[in-house]
Chains A and B, each alone.
Chain A
Amino acid sequence: MRSIGPYQQIKVSLEPKLFDRLLFLARLSISDVERKVLMHDLTNTLAMIDSIHDAPTNQVPPLQSPSLTTLRLRADAVTEQVDRNALQQPASVLFEGLYAVPKVIE
């Protein structure tokens, strides 16, 4: 488990360049009208979130999950038959039993 040390406090400043980077990473785009509202909301939300930097977490290891369950090992055996056709039904576009996407390599 990773132990984390003290932080340099980060104050949120959502610059347009960072905003565009986040949009790219999330594979989203946004209209100009939405952009203004979204940047405003995001800045306020990140300001709220920023209060976590006041918490004294020196040497406190992260807790990923509250689960008290130890992951179980199971027999290395096929227990389920996959119905390929049923699983592919929700796809919008199929081609000869494969998921179809725009041409990647010309």
Chain B
Amino acid sequence: MTPSWSATTTLTSLSQQLQIGDTTSEALTAAYLERIKQSKLNAFITVTADKALAEARAADQQRRAGDTRPLLGIPMAHKDLFCTKGTLTTCGSKMLADFIAPYDATVVSRCKEAGLVSLGKTNMDEFAMGCSNETSFFGPANNPWDLERTPGGSSGGSAAAVAGGLAPVATASDTGGSIRLPAAFCGLTGLKPTYGRISRYGMIAFASSLDQAGVIARHTEDIALMLNCLVGLDQQDSTSSDVGWENQTLEHLKQSCQGLRIGVPRALLEELETDCQHSFEAGLEALKELGMTSIDIDLTYARYGISAYHVLASAEASSNLSRYDGIRYGYRCEQPKNLQDLYIRSRTEGFGFEVKKRILIGTYALSAGYQDAYYLKAQSIRRLIRDDFQSAFQNVDIIATPTSICPPFRQQGELQDPVTMYQQDAFTALANLAGLPCISLPAPMVQNLPYGLHLQASPFAEDVLLRTGYALQQISDWHLQTPAGMAA
């Protein structure tokens, strides 16, 4: 039987279809591959059709042999910064356009262990530097709600793929908002876990103290299932956490949200457009209907967050990306005259404009005479912001803001000024500085476009975010809105 797709389809319902024999993993995978083939979203950089079908057939055999793993045989997609052994891993860059990793990232190997079927690698901003997917060497992914608008970034391909019905779930990564912004712009749910919750091994580095892997899906319960598979200590990543994780089942998600306290940092919302404000307030009201209470809070140092974030992210990027020298892997220029020429031309020809810009900002922040004034200063601000959050969480369980300052904007120049573009991360980058878990949930549409409600919790309290997201999606249908022409 040909599988059908609708907004109410969850990973659990797909698993049930497979379990009772309504469909097979091979049929399901073939159906998604066909949708990818017909798509105009440019959501994938690499589609691994043959491998996917082989994995699906193997999953069908395992299921027939009695294997009941909950995610067995379900298709999914990986952001193209997770290393996949034997398959291209480009990180959206010319620098890695031909790079085939010799090993799997832990995120990839854990998905394989769970029996998930990888459809391919999704489009992204180059080295995850961007919030519109426009810096990808492979051209931008498009938003299924309006092909001329951005799906957000940097995990724009992952969000476009899920919103466009090309995959039911996708992995993603978040350095300053790269899971949450695309989720919000595409009407989806995206969760960035606590720093260290999911291993970064094999995840190509942008800014190592800020990077975190996570998931984009339509339903909160799908995110929970994926986290059950991905979370856990990994000896390959020294920052991987061993804090306990209780598998989040439907019983966990159904626990009451009655009495949870929401903090709203009103001062951050003053510049918000009226229709975005209305969407946010409607989301907040829905949470109150669940028995949650709301108080205004003060995050005194949050206003320095986006500047401090850009200093630290750029500094770490300039250091991390120094490994691309044209020798061991990555792009190498033709006919280098000498070693310096090899370094300079390989990097100049291999990196795109935005990446070069951020490397230069980072080089500036780390260079002699400026390091104390920029890099260390930004780290001190980071401490103030972290302490701000710690104080706030003495009195509240969740901190709520919108995910973005506007709904998805048009590609090719609506935001020409890079500083305005950087402000897109104003609400989200704070959580990366403090290492907090956070989730973007679909909120009421703004100008007929998706918009997100952003919830942050104290470290390792992903369960509170999942419970809240699940409850909200039981009493609202914002996550069930789909772009025109989506039904199978």
Interface residues of A (CB under 8 A from B): 2, 4, 7-8, 10, 18-19, 21-23, 25-30, 34, 37-38, 41-42, 44-55, 57, 60-69, 71-72, 74, 83, 86-93, 99, 101-104
B interface secondary structure, majority: helix
A interface secondary structure, majority: loop
A5 to chain B, nearest CB (A): 9
The reply on B267 being an interface residue by CB < 8 A is: no
Picked from A34, A42, A49, A104, the residue with its CB within 8 Å of the CB of B307 is A49
A83 to chain B, nearest CB (A): 7
Complex Cα gap A42–B239 (Å): 32
Picked from B344, B419, B436, the residue with its CB within 8 Å of the CB of A45 is B419
Q: CB distance B379 to A25 under 8 Å?
A: no
Q: List 5 A-B contacts (CB under 8 A).
A: A7-B377, A19-B360, A29-B344, A99-B328, A104-B339
Which chain A residues border B386 with CB–CB below 8 Å? 63, 66
Q: CB distance B360 to A62 under 8 Å?
A: no
User: Which one of B254-262, B348-356, B471-479 is at the A interface?
Assistant: B348-356
Q: CB distance B380 to A63 under 8 Å?
A: yes
Given contacts A62-B379, A101-B327, contact A68 B384 (CB under 8 A): no
Q: CB distance A41 to B377 under 8 Å?
A: no
Interface residues of B (CB under 8 A from A): 99-102, 195-196, 209, 235, 238-243, 301, 304, 306-308, 310-311, 318, 322, 325-332, 336-345, 347-348, 351, 353, 356-357, 359-361, 363-365, 367, 370, 372-374, 376-384, 386, 417-419, 422, 433-436, 459
A53 to chain B, nearest CB (A): 7
Given contacts A63-B380, A102-B339, contact A28 B359 (CB under 8 A): yes
Complex Cα gap A21–B238 (Å): 34
Which chain B residues border A23 with CB–CB below 8 Å? 360
Picked from A45, A66, A68, A86, the residue with its CB within 8 Å of the CB of B433 is A66
Which chain B residues border A60 with CB–CB below 8 Å? 380, 383-384
Which chain B residues border A102 with CB–CB below 8 Å? 336-339, 341-342
Complex Cα gap A48–B345 (Å): 30
B331 to chain A, nearest CB (A): 8
Q: CB distance B311 to A74 under 8 Å?
A: no
Q: CB distance B195 to A48 under 8 Å?
A: no
